[in-house]
Structure 1
Amino acid sequence: MSIERTGTLPLQSEQHIVASRQAVRSLCQLLKFSLVEQTKMITAASELSRNTLIHGGGGRMRWEVVEAGTKTGLALHFEDEGPGIADMKLAMTDGWTSGGGMGLGLPGSKRLVSDFSVESAPGQGTRVSITKWK
C-alpha cells in the first residue's frame, strides 16, 4: 500500500476532529509505528485538533512523512488564523487549561511526541508542529 507523503485536512467541526484522528491512525499504521507510539500521536493530534477548532476558530492539519538519515517520522502541523496565544508561558504550564479539551494542553501534547514547536502572536493565529520519529 502506498502512502501519500503530504496532505491537508480541514479542522472546522467536530467531525473534522474525528477525521484527523482517523487519518493520523492510518498514517501511523502505514509507517509501522508501535501501538504505544500510535496512541501517543493520535492523542496529541486529537488535543491539537480540538485546540485549533475551539481556540483558533478552525483551521487545518497538514501532515508530511519526513526522513532524517535512516529515521522516518510523521510531522503534523496545526494552523489557524485565530486570536493567537496571549500568554505562551501560561499556555505551556502543566495543569493549566482554558477548558473544553482533554486537559493535556500544549505541555501534555509536547510530552507525547519527539519534536514540538509552537508559533503564535496575538491577532496572528497559531501554528503548532509536532513530529514523532519511528
Structure 2
Amino acid sequence: MEIQSCVKIINEWDIVAARQLGRNVAKELGFGTVDQARITTAISELARNIYLYADQGQICIEKVTNQNRTGVKIISKDHGPGIPDLRKVMEDGYTTSGGLGAGLPGVKRLMDEFSIDSTVSVGTEIITVKWLR
C-alpha cells in the first residue's frame, strides 16, 4: 500500500504544492484537522529548509501501514551542503536564517517518528511519520 508521491522543491511555489499534497494524503487517510495542520506544518518547514539551504531537493509523501496502524511518511531529501552539527540544529531556538528557530525540533515534536541523516557536501535526508490515532 506504500504509494509515494514526490514534489521537487526548487521555488517557493513548490513548498505550497508539497503542503497541499500532504494535506490531501492526510485527509484521505482520515486524519483530523489538527493532525492535518501538524503534518502540513512539518512539510512546510522541511520544504522551506530545502529551498533556503540546499537550492533544490524533494519532499516525498507516502501512505504507510505497520501491523494494524496507518500513517503518513514524509521524506525530505536534498543534495545540499549537509548539516555540520546535527546536535546544534536540533536545539530549540537555534537559527541560521533569523527565523524563530522552531525548525527541526518543531518538526520532531509535530510528528510521531523522526530521523535525520546528513553528510557535509553530500546532503540531508529527514524521515518523519505521523500515525493515525
TM-score, structure 2 as length reference: 0.94
Is the aligned partner of 1:48 residue 2:46?
yes
User: 5, 8, 13: which one pairs with 1:15?
Assistant: 13
Give the conservation status (yes or no) of the 8 Å contact 1:50–1:101: no
Runs of 4+ aligned residues of structure 1 deviating over 2 Å after TM superposition are 100-103
Quote the residue 1:73 is aligned against. 71
Gaps of at least 5 residues in structure 1 are none
TM-score, structure 1 as length reference: 0.93
What is the alpha-carbon distance in structure 2 between the residues aligned to residue 127 and residue 102 of structure 1? Answer: 22
Larger displacement relative to structure 2 (97-106 or 83-92): 97-106
What is the alpha-carbon distance in structure 1 between the residues aligned to residue 125 and residue 98 of structure 2? Answer: 19
CA RMSD of aligned residues (A): 1.5
Q: What does the per-residue CA deviation read over 1:27-79, in whole Å, with 9 as the maximum and x for residues that have no partner?
A: 11001101111111110110000001111121011121100111100001010
Give the conservation status (yes or no) of the 8 Å contact 2:4–2:63: yes
Q: How many pairs does the alignment contain?
A: 132
Q: What amino acid sits opposite 1:99 in the alignment?
A: S
What is the alpha-carbon distance in structure 1 between the residues aligned to residue 28 and residue 117 of structure 2? Answer: 29
**Which residues of 2 match residues 33-112 of structure 1 at below 5 A?**
33-99=31-97, 101=99, 103-112=101-110
Q: What amino acid sits opposite 1:62 in the alignment?
A: C
Give the conservation status (yes or no) of the 8 Å contact 2:7–2:18: yes
